[in-house]
Structures are given as C-alpha cells and as structure tokens.
Structure 1
Amino acid sequence: MSQQVRGVVSLAKGAPVSVETIIVPDPGPGEAVVKIQACGVCHTDLHYREGGINDDFPFLLGHEAAGVVESVGEGVTDVTPGDFVILNWRAVCGSCRACLRGRPQYCFNTHNASQSMTLEDGTKLSPALGIGAFIEKTLVAAGQCTKVNPAVRPAVAGLLGCGVMAGLGAALNTGTVGRDDTVAVIGCGGVGNAAIAGARLAGARTIIAVDVDDTKLQWATEFGATHTVNSKATDAVEAIQALTGGFGADLVVDAVGRPETYRTAFYARDLAGTVVLVGVPNPEMKLELPLADVFGRGGSLKSSWYGDCLPGRDFPTMVDLHLQGRLPLEKFVSETIALDGVEEAFAKMKTGQVLRSVVVL
C-alpha cells in the first residue's frame, strides 16, 4: 500500500517552501523506498525553488541524503531492506555510449523511479535531481542507492550525495591532483572546501583558498588550505602567482562559476596547468577570452559534473577515509535542523552563515 509522509515542497516560483503530506507508492520494478535519516540543504534546492532549474513545479526538494532501505520492488538485487545507503543522482544505465566505452561517470542515460510521488490531491511532484529527500520516506530507482559502512553518521554521509562529492571529485577525479602539486580553489563554500579537502588528501604541497569572505577563508584553513587570499582586497592572480614561485598553480578549481572567477582561474594557473569549473553558472552568463591566450597557455580547461564520480566506487571509499580520520566530513555540518527549518536554512545559505544545514529525521 502507498504511504502518507511529510515532505518539503516548493509549490510556486520564489514562494516559501512548505511541509506537505506526500503520497509515496510502493516500489515497482527496479525501485526502492528509503527511510530518510538525514539530508543536507544544497544550493541546488534553492535554485529549484527560485525556478533556476526548470518550471516543473511543484518540486519535492532535497537530494543530499542518507537513510535505510525500507522496501524494494521486483528485480532489485543490489540492495535489500535494512541496507544503509547514500542516495545518488547518477544511477548509471550500463548501456549508453559512455558506459559501453568504459566511462560510466559520463553516463548519458541515468535513471530515476518510474512512478511519481504526489500531493494528497493527486498532483504529481518533481523530485529534486530525481531524489526528493526532504521527506520521511522517498521513492527512488534502486540504482540511486549506494551501500556504505553504516558506522558513519547519517548527517555526515548524506553530504557525499552531491556538494561534498562534487568538490572532492573536482580535485581528485577531474583535476587529478597529485602529490607535491600546487592548487588554488576559488570560492570556499561547501563545494570549494571539499575541493580543498580533496587536494590535501591527495598530497598537494600548496593549497591556496580564494574568497571575499574572511569567515569562509577561515573555514578553508580548517580543511587544509596552506594560504588564503581575500580577493576583495588583493589581486587573486598576482597572489596565486606569488605563492607558487611566480608560475601559477598546477590546478585551479573555480567553485563559483561566474565569468570573472573563471578568468581568474584561467590566468592564475601555470603554463600547461589545469582549470576545473565545478561552480554552476546561470544560463545568461557568457565568457570571453582571447583565443590566442587559450592556445598559447596550453594545458586543460575542464568542467566537472558531480565531481566525475562513480557513486558505487567513490561513496564507500570516502566514507572509509572519513572513518579512518583522514577526511573531516563532520566539519561541513554547520547545524542540524528539522523539516520545517528548510526555509530558514535557505536564508542562512544566502548570507554565507553556514557550510551546510542538515535536516535530521
């Protein structure tokens, strides 16, 4: 039988979110119902609420989640009831051109649950990133459930479902940071600080954090930044070059995603260095660079989507590294809140008061 649970819904563009009664159907073939234990409040959820993703309202928000599988549908064998899982929005298909080439991290046909969750009146909900996890129980494709060590705290584990994995992966997977490399990260919110943590984990020699907020720069030092630059007061390109022997960084991660931050990243890298864009630009933004500079500086200009991660490979590894004391995921959790605290968490996010608010159920 279907279940009635509480969940956080964005009913209209820009309107405050509300806690509504949601109907969750029994899992069908290839699906699972997961009892959510914790879910981080990500900027992407705010983008959905403000109409920045699409206009398929109403949205069931939340996607950085961990919980326990309650039930599974026909044909599901990879997870069973009782498994502790992190939810992911890259349930790879295994048969598209990327998967068949051995590049499943670029899967072009990721899948979600076939059935819809609804409001009490039958209105279908659009789950954020195909998950919808600001809710007591959610329906997902079973492939969106990644089993990890249950010894990890749910409030910590769930953050790997999106922002923290995006930052870690931008450094480790896309940027391929190596031992003794020099790294600069522009933007020290959750994603940027995760990139800093990833660079430290990989053994980078110099890690330069760049932001306009001194509080965020202080956070960056706690995640492993060896130097900080307030770009409101100092030219970031000159500062990064000065801290890298005049050359520029081997890798520069743009965790903001604006034309001005991307230009800074481009000119702050060493010759043949790498730029990784992981901050999400809005559709109106345009970038202009002299083509001669793009050619003459060589190197790589990359975009990192979900940190180029494979959830089944990366989530368990990151959890194990955390449990070993090598990856301080707990530092990302600024506060824990209830379901009815999401709107206030959005306000704190906008003003930069928190790295992550986490809904705990």
Structure 2
Amino acid sequence: MILALHNRYRTLGGEERAVEDLTWLAREHLGEEVELLVRDSSLLGRRAAATGLLRGGLDPDEVTAAIRRTRADIVHAHNLLPSFGWRALAAARAAGAKTVLHLHNYRLVCAVATCVDPAGEDCTRCHGRNTTPGLRLGCRGSAVEGVAYAAALSVWQRRTLDLADVVVVPSAAAKERLLALGVPVGDALVVPHVVRTAATTTAYAADGPALVVARLAPEKGVDVAIAACREARVGLVIAGDGPEAADLRRVAAAAGLTVLEGNGGPAPWDGQVRFAGRVPDELLSRLRAAASVELIPSRAHETFGLAAIEALAFGLPIVASGVGALAALPEPVRLVPPGDAGALALAVTGARGDARAAAAGPQLARSLAGPEVVAPALAAAYAGVRGGRGQTS
C-alpha cells in the first residue's frame, strides 16, 4: 500500500499533473493500492505556512493516522513544503513505513524551486545550505516569506534527505543540476513523468497559430514567445494562468499586438495573441488540433518538460529551449537558446505544420515517457525501499 503526500501550490501547474499521473500508473500498471493525502497552499494562511517551514512541517500525526488506517508500507512524498516538511517523513518511519522522496524541482535549495532569479534568468547562487543569496535577491517577493524559506531550507535540507530511504528525480538533467547545487542526491533514481496515451493519428492545422501551454511565470519565457511570434508574423494562443498574467498582457499590447481573451472565437492570426487561461484537457486538445506548432520557451533548467512530451504525444511539432531536460530531446524537436526571440522566430517559421515532426512525435513520447517505460522505473524505486536499500548521502 502506498500513501502519497503532496502539498499543492497556490497556482496549480505541471507537478500536480505529474503526481496525478504517477498515482494512476502505480494503480493501473503496478497493481498498487494508492491513497493520496493532499494539502493546499491556497488554503493555508501565510502565517501557518511560515510556521510549517520553520518547524519542519505541521501536524505529522495526520500522516501517522493515515499510515495506520491504510496500512501503507511506503510513503511516496512529492512536494513537502510548506506544510508536510521533514516531520512527515519522520512520522512515516516511526509508523513503520519506508519513504520515497520525489524531487520534482529544486525546492531543497531554491526558495522558488526553479533556479530562476527575479529578473527571469537562470540562477545557481544558492548552493548547498547557503540560501542567503535568494534572501538578498528577494526571490520570494515578500521579505517575511524570504526569511522563512531561506532559514528552513538551510536548516532542514539534510534532515529531509536523511529521512528518505530512496530519492527520485524526473530526469538525469535534474539529478545533475541538484548535484551541481550541492544537494547530495548521488544515489537518486530517475523516474520520468508519465504520459498516459499517445495519438495514433495526428491532428493539427498547418497554417494555425503557435501555442504555449504553461504557468504564466517568469521562468517559462512566455514573453519570449510573444516577441518571437510577433517577429515571425504568427498568431499565438497562450493556455495557462499565473502571477505574470497581467504583465504578459501588457507586454503583448506594448508590442503592438491585439490582445484577445478567452478560449472561444477564431484562431489568432498575425498580430494577435489570445490568452485562453487555464483550460480543461478536452479544450486543450482542441487548441492543439487548431495549432501549427507548440512552443516551450522556458528560461529555466527544466527538470522534465511535461508540456513538451504532451505536445509530442499529441502529434504537434514543437520548438523548445535547449536547456535542462529539454536539451536532451532528440530530433525532430527543434531546440533554440533560451531567451533568444530571434532564434525562436526562425524555428517557428520552419516548424509550423512540419508533417514529419508531427508524425514522429507520438512514438518519441512513448519512448521517453510511456507507461511501459516509466512503470519499471517506478517499480524499481518501490522495490528498492521494500528491499531495504537506503539513500546514502
């Protein structure tokens, strides 16, 4: 029996999808019973969040009770901050369960988890337990939050790792970056995110707009996509929401583009950008079918790049920043330097409606993240803890 823990973010994103899909994989492909214990940062007051960070977690007795009720022998911990913390792992061990710590991002060392500074640039200033650069730069925005994160990450990083029987990361690139950041994850196992299905036929519009599916945050480089599509004279649809939503609308308007709202109406054309907001899966499929190319213009050292794999699985040509795990994507994915709107514009022009790339995408997605690939990796992580293999640090 697996008890999965996840503290949802204030703005939901790809990690929530990854947790949901890995839970599905464990049930449907490994035959595991899985229960998900969720807490939600949007429902947690800032004072309580700060208390959870500094104390190393809130209410570990809830974890103990869930283990006893479900008889879970493994606790699979996804995002622990701010409310679960190392105390959830300690409670799991005390109750007789083994622990799998799944590091989807760089939260153990970076207060914003992305290694991107307030200017939107890749940043590795924080290193090991030295988190003062993030505090000095004001990465959390709020000074109170900044102090809480800087202190908590520094004090509790090693204890969190020491309480993990197995550490899991989503890619070799994520593991390499964590080690470079001074986080001792040398024995971490790679378990990719999973894409449940891949298309058998492709559906896209060769002359349709470009599409970006992303959380609207600085590290996602959506402003670069706006500039590139303006230069390439291609319409753009942006599906997602986040803290930069209003700023990105202003960026588009300042560039002389017409800003459209909502997910209805005709597809944008040259000079238009449509902000569709967060969309359900069914509508996202329709947006992809109406697009000619999907862009992943991230500035961040992505740990996996779920949007890219999902676009490949759909059968849509893609252009991505050659950074982090995205840099390992093979042809026919077109890679460009992060933050380079000119290079992205050229790649967009070449990739739109590329039939060869669209046809190759689903098989490539299956080879990278299909259930038949990810299930054995996840099974190995669970077998590792059940067999008593521990994480050395």
Pair in the same fold by TM > 0.5: no
The structure richer in strand per residue is 1
> Structure 1-normalised TM-score?
0.30
The structure richer in helix per residue is 2
